[in-house]
Amino acid sequence: MNITWALLMMALGGVGVPHGGHDSDVTAALQSATNPPIVAEHSSNPNGASPNATGGTTSPTPVTSASPGNEAGGTDGAILADPQPDAPKVKGIYVTAYSAGGARMETLLNLLDKTELNSMVIDIKDDAGYITYKTDNAELQKLGHPQPFIGDINKLMTRLKEHDVYPIARIVVFKDSVLAKKKPEMSFVNTNGTVWSNKGGDSFVNPYNEDVWKYNVDIAKEAAKLGFKEIQFDYVRFPEGFEKRADTLKYTKNDRPRVEIIGDFVKYAKAELNPLGVRVSVDIFGYAASVPAAEGIGQDFVKISKNVDVISPMVYPSHYSTGWFDVKDPDKDPYATIKGSMVDTHKKLDPLGSYKPIIRPWIQDFTASWLGSGHYVKYGKTQVEDQIRALKDEKVDEFLLWNANNRYTSGVDYEK
- What single string gives the DSSP state of each residue in 244-296? GTTTTSB--B-SS-HHHHHHHHHHHHHHHHGGGT-EEEEEEEGGGGTS--BTT
In this prediction, residue 240 carries a pLDDT of: 92
Query: How much is the pLDDT for 25?
Result: 37
Residue 77 has what pLDDT?
58
**Three-class DSSP category at 401:** strand
Residue ranges making up the domain that contains 379: 3-12+89-402
Can you give the pLDDT at residue 416? 77
For residue 287, the model assigns a pLDDT of 86
What pLDDT, on a 0 to 100 scale, did the predictor assign at position 415?
92
- At 19 the pLDDT is 34
- From the list 137, 316, 148, the residue with the least C-alpha distance to 223 is 137
Query: At 351, is the secondary structure helix, strand, or coil?
Result: helix
Examine residue 237 and state whether it is found in any structural domain, yes or no.
yes
> Which residues, in sequence order, are CB contacts of 335 under 8 Å at separation 6+?
386, 387, 389, 390
256: Cβ contacts below 8 Å, ≥ 6 apart: 40, 61, 72, 73
Is residue 163 domain-resident? yes
Amino acid letter, residue 24: S
53 occurs within a structural domain: no
DSSP assignment, residue 64? -
Strand partners, 299: 294
Residue 231 lies in a domain: yes
Q: What is the total count of domains within the chain?
A: 1
Can you give the CATH number for the domain in which 201 is found?
3.20.20.80
Pairing of strands 362-364, 230-234: unpaired
| Residue 30 covered by a domain | no
Per-residue pLDDT of the chain (416 residues; tens, 9 = 90+): 444 444 444 444 444 343 333 333 333 333 333 333 322 222 222 223 222 333 333 333 333 344 333 333 333 557 899 999 999 999 999 999 999 999 999 999 999 999 999 999 999 999 999 999 999 999 999 999 999 999 999 999 999 999 999 999 999 999 999 999 999 999 999 999 999 999 999 999 999 999 999 999 999 999 999 999 999 999 999 999 999 999 999 999 999 999 999 999 999 999 999 999 999 999 998 989 998 898 999 999 999 999 999 999 999 999 999 999 999 999 999 999 999 999 999 999 999 999 999 999 999 999 999 999 999 999 999 999 999 999 999 999 999 999 999 999 999 999 97
Q: What share of the chain is helix, strand, coil (3-state, %, to 5)?
A: 40, 15, 50
What's the rounded Cα separation, in Å, for the pair 350 and 342?
Answer: 12
Is residue 291, in this structure, part of any structural domain at all?
yes
Is 34 contained in some domain? no
Q: Beta strand pairing status for 362-364 and 166-172?
A: unpaired
60 located within any domain: no
